Structure 1
C-alpha cells in the first residue's frame, strides 16, 4: 500500500502539533523527538481508523428512519467520539508506556481537535 501525498503532509502536521502540545501543555509528554515522530505516526493511523468508523456511524444515523433508530445511532456517534479518545490514550500507553503521555481525556480531546483542524486547514491551503 502506497502512502498518498496528503498522508505524508498529515503526518508532518501531526508532528508539529504534537510537539507544540508537548511544549505548551504540561500533561502532554514525550521523552524525545523520535518518540514524538512515532507517536504522530500512531495518531495518524488511529485517527484515520476513527474517521472511517465515525463516517460509517454518521451514515447509519442519516439512514435511520425511525426515532429509536436515530436515537440509537446518535448514541453510537457519541460512543465513538468519546471512546476513540480513550482508545487513543490506551493505545499510546500500551505502545510507549511512560515515555509518552497525552495527559487525560481533556488534553487528548484538545489535542485530537487541534490535529484534525490543523490537518483540514493545511489540506485546504494546499488545494
Structure 2
C-alpha cells in the first residue's frame, strides 16, 4: 500500500474512533457505525490497530458480533431504540415543532430504528 494512502486510512480511522467515542456520550450520535468504519479502515492500514479495536474492552464485543454474525445484542437494540424515542419525545416537547417537521424527524428516526430492529439479536 502506498504510504500516503495508509496515512489517509489511518487518519480517517482515528477520526471515526473519535466520532464513535463522542457518540457514546451524545444520544444524537451513533457509536457503532463509526467504530465499524474505523475497524474497516484499520484493517486496510494497520491490522494491529484493527485488533486493538476488535478487542477493546468496551467496544470490541459489539464490533465482533456485527462482523461475525451481522447481529446486534438485545441490550444494544433496546438502548438504541429507547434513546431514539426519548430524543424524539424531547424534541417534540422542548422544540414544539410543526406537525410537518415532527413527521419528517419521526420518519428519519424510524429508518435506522427499523434497521436496528430487523437485525438478528444475540
- Superposition TM-score, scaled by structure 1 size: 0.31
The answer to which structure has the higher strand fraction is: 1
TM-score using structure 2 length:
0.32
Greater CA radius of gyration, 1 or 2?
A: 2
